[in-house]
Structure 1
Amino acid sequence: MTVSVKDVAAAASVSVGTVSNVLNRPDKVSPATVARVQAAIDELGFVRNDAARQLRAGRSRSIGLIILDSANPFFAEVARGAEERAAREGMSVLLGSSDQVPERESNYLDLFREQRVNGVLLTPTDVDADMLRHFTDSGTPLVIVDGEMPGGRVPSVAVDDVRGGMLAVEHLLETGRRRIAYVGGPAGIRQVADRLEGARRALARVPDATLEVIEQGALTVLHGRDAGEQIARRPISERPDAVFCANDLLALGVMQGTAILGEMRIPEDLALIGYDDIDFAESAVVSLSSVRQPARTIGAEAVELLLESLDSSGAAIRHVRFQPELVVRASTGR
């Protein structure tokens, strides 16, 4: 049997309005009455109907977060940062993973809008300006996470991934590598394209260096392992002497793939660098060099931007861009 507010009011010998005040505005009720109502709630096992409350209020106490891949530790850290910041405001975070599928992303956007969330934090599979503009015009605030929307109409928090790609490849060039391969995911993912652009800019400064692009279907360890095995099967004269991967999961997979065939040593035969600097990077069999981005800070800052959007003061739309940091470990031989 479901316990109602009326049941609590009867048990505490108060009005329904008093119970409502205890639940929502306890400062308007005397401490003795609050204690009596709370005792009735505990005794009866009352659970407030938050769905009904948010229908009356027009908004819930939740924030929607849509990421590209919930299995990627980078996005797990982004979510943690968002949760920590939201909790300070008494809000919770509802998480959805698009798995880089636009249809799933669209379904989550519709679901969160139906749930009347306070706003949505989105790492887009592709920046569809018309779709995002339609979403924001519906009245639900939106913040782009790890990307930017053309035109700057939506707040965003991102990392300068072009700069990150330059840092990675400049480091490989400084160690004497000249035949460099870039292992990335689908080219339509903004982060993949920007990191490749940075790699190309770094290569353009060194006339005798070459860049090969090895595109994979996804940014996972298994796809990285496939790329590593492909490289290891080549004749020695056709192998790259360095690999820059679009994220650490791909890089760890490349490390596994080359080790499976046992014909290439890291870093002696192949220097390897990833991106994100997830925890597994440092603890790999050969510790992985990487380009670090502040994942947890990104999540927290995204919530901060959303809170600014919810403020009725009409503050200017902000775009936050962090600078990446090169982290050198054993996999690049320095």
Structure 2
Amino acid sequence: MARIKDVAAAAGVSVATVSRVLNDSPSVNDETRRRVYDAMSALNYVPNAVARSLRTTATRTIGLIIGDILNPFFTELARGVEDEARREGYTVVMGNADERPDEQDHYVRTLLEQRVDGLLICPTAELTPLVQQLAEAGRPLVFLDRSIAGLDVPTVRSDGASAIAELVRHLREQGHRRIALASGPATLSTGRERTEAFAAAMAAEGLELRPEYVRPGDFREGSGRRITAELLDLPEPPDAVFFGDNLMTLGGLEEIRARGLRIPRDVAIASFDDVTWFKHIDPPVTAIAQPAAEMGRHAVRLLLSRVNGRPAASAVLPATLVIRRSCEGKGS
């Protein structure tokens, strides 16, 4: 097994520099940090935190690292994790990656140092050497909501393809033809899957998918507002916009209201990810609901199977379309 001094030699840096990289020190520049990561990957180096965690006794705690604590989807997901873990006699320690690979790695190391029995991770877009090594070391690990190609890690996610097909059909039936997508990042499995499902649904309904109507965001409120402004400023703006998640929908709502436009008369909207407040605004927002709490509960069951040395298979749970008034035809 490679040692830290082997990584230092391969990267052409000191052992102290490798240690600073492993501890997320801001004193290391990006170029040096990348050389160290590349050396770790080439040597299959397992950081001490991972190695030590493989020799610990059970603590009856599990770690959960979510993508963005401000996103209601992750809040519901975390609640499902906590409920199931408590039922099984486990405590959950949570970290918020804020969609940043460095923050994700910080929490991975911290949770391993706390000797958690297993980890649930909603992985960020970038596969880091630490997460790769954690998976390859055989540590009890389950991915939530998002998958990473090439890693043999059980994943619990939802399949929204059927619900997206229903949504596009509903929009067509309501008379909408110019339908746009404010998608998530292509670097995330969820962003790719929703974009691909939308394109397939448009083709199935015989609707034109205009390139200028498909714009990537980052699953954050700001990108939702920016994309909405770009779409509404087009010479021929869309008459309906489908947002890739609830925070982007919120940004879109802000931009539409700021322009004094009316939903759905001026532009219809729909969202992937349903949240409680969607049904309370005027008009209520049509949304695709993921079974977030059940995803969290199921992920805990899979993780505990791995903790106890039993096999665990990935699971895909269906999402459902909730039709409300934000997509009604212009004459409604």
TM-score bucket (shorter structure) = 0.7 to 0.9
Partner of 1:192: 191
Q: Name the CA distance, whole Å, in 2 between partners of 1:167 and 1:145.
A: 25
- Judged with a 3 Å threshold, the aligned counterparts in structure 2 of structure 1 residues 123 and 222 are, in CA distance, closer, same or farther, namely same
Structure 2 gap segments, 5+ residues each: 1-52
Aligned to 1:180: 179
* Paired position in structure 2 for 1:82: 81
What is the CA distance between 1:151 and its match in structure 2? 5.3
Residues 159-238 of structure 1: pairs in structure 2 closer than 5 A = 159-211=158-210, 212-216=213-217, 218-235=218-235, 238=236
Aligned to 1:304: 301
Report the 3-state secondary structure (helix = DSSP H, G, I; strand = E; otherwise coil) of the residue aligned with 2:316. Answer: strand
Do 2:101 and 2:126's aligned partners in 1 also have CA atoms closer than 8 Å?
Answer: no
In the other structure, the counterpart of 1:322 is: 317
Q: How far apart are residue 157 of structure 1 and its match?
A: 0.8
2:151 maps to 1:156: no
Name the CA distance, whole Å, in 2 between partners of 1:233 and 1:179: 14
**1:293: Cα distance to partner?**
0.7
For 1:158 and 1:60, locate their aligned partners in 2 and report how far apart those are by CA, in whole Å.
27
Shift of the alpha carbon at 1:300?
Answer: 0.8
**Contact 1:231 1:239 (C-alpha < 8 Å) held by counterparts:** yes
Corresponding position of 2:91 = 92
> What secondary structure, in the 3-state scheme, does the structure 2 residue paired with 1:125 have?
coil
Which residue of the other structure, out of 279, 287, 291, is the alignment partner of 1:290? 287
Residues in 1 aligned to 2:91 and 2:136: alpha-carbon distance in whole angstroms = 24
Contact 1:192 1:246 in 2 (8 A): yes
Instruction: Report the CA distance between 1:131 and its aligned residue.
Output: 5.1
In 1, Cα distance between equivalents of 2:142 and 2:55 = 25
Segments of 5+ residues of structure 1 without an aligned counterpart are 1-53
Matches within 5 A, 1:50-89: 58-89=57-88
Q: 2:101 touches 2:128 (CA, 8 Å); kept in 1? A: no
1:254 maps to 252
**Residues of 1 paired with 2:81 and 2:72: CA distance?**
14
Question: Which TM-score applies when normalising by structure 1?
Answer: 0.76
Cα distance per residue 1:165-204 (max 9 Å; x no partner): 3333232223221111111232212111111100000111
Supply the distance in 2 between the matched residues of 1:255 and 1:57 (Cα, whole angstroms).
49
Alpha-carbon distance in structure 2 between the residues aligned to 1:55 and 1:219: 35
CA-to-partner distance for each residue in 1:193-234, whole Å, 9 max, x for gaps?
111100000111244423411222x32233322333333444
Of 278-287 and 74-83, the range deviating more from structure 2: 278-287
Given that 2:56 and 2:115 are in contact with CA atoms closer than 8 Å, whether structure 1 keeps it comes out as no
Q: Distance in 2 between matches of 1:128 and 1:223?
A: 23
Cα distance in 1, alignment partners of residues 107 and 117 from structure 2: 14
The code of the aligned residue for 2:269 comes to L
- The separation in 2 between residues aligned to 1:227 and 1:284, in whole angstroms, is 21
Counterpart CA distance in 2 for 1:297 and 1:122 is: 16
Cα distance in structure 2, aligned partners of 1:169 and 1:98: 33
What's the offset of the Cα at 1:280? Answer: 1.7
Q: Larger Rg: 1 or 2?
A: 1
Distance 1:55 1:166 in 2: 44
Is 1:164–1:195's contact at 8 Å kept on the other side of the alignment?
A: no
Q: Which moved further from structure 2: 299-308 or 154-163?
A: 154-163
Are the aligned partners of 1:169 and 1:244 in contact in 2 as well (CA < 8 Å)? no
In angstroms, what is the RMSD of aligned CA positions? Answer: 2.4
Q: Distance in 2 between matches of 1:323 and 1:114?
A: 36
Output one character per residue of 1:23-54: Cα deviation in whole Å (capped at 9) or x when no partner: xxxxxxxxxxxxxxxxxxxxxxxxxxxxxxx9
Letter in 2 for 1:221: E
Aligned pair count reads: 275
Partner residue, 2:108: 109
Q: Evaluate the alpha carbon distance shift between residue 56 and residue 196 of structure 1 in structure 2; reply closer, same or farther with a 3 A threshold.
A: closer
Q: Distance in 1 between matches of 2:183 and 2:89?
A: 39
TM-score by length of 2: 0.76
Change (3 A) 1:270 1:55: closer
Q: Which residue of 2 aligns with 1:41?
A: none
**C-alpha separation between the residues in 1 aligned to 2:121 and 2:269?**
30
Indicate yes or no: 2:264 matched with 1:267: yes
Give the Cα separation in 2 of the matches to 1:77 and 1:208.
34
State the Cα deviation string for residues 36-74 of structure 1 (Å, max 9, x = none).
xxxxxxxxxxxxxxxxxx999623222111111000011
Q: Which amino acid aligns with 1:231?
A: L
Q: Distance in 2 between matches of 1:97 and 1:167?
A: 33
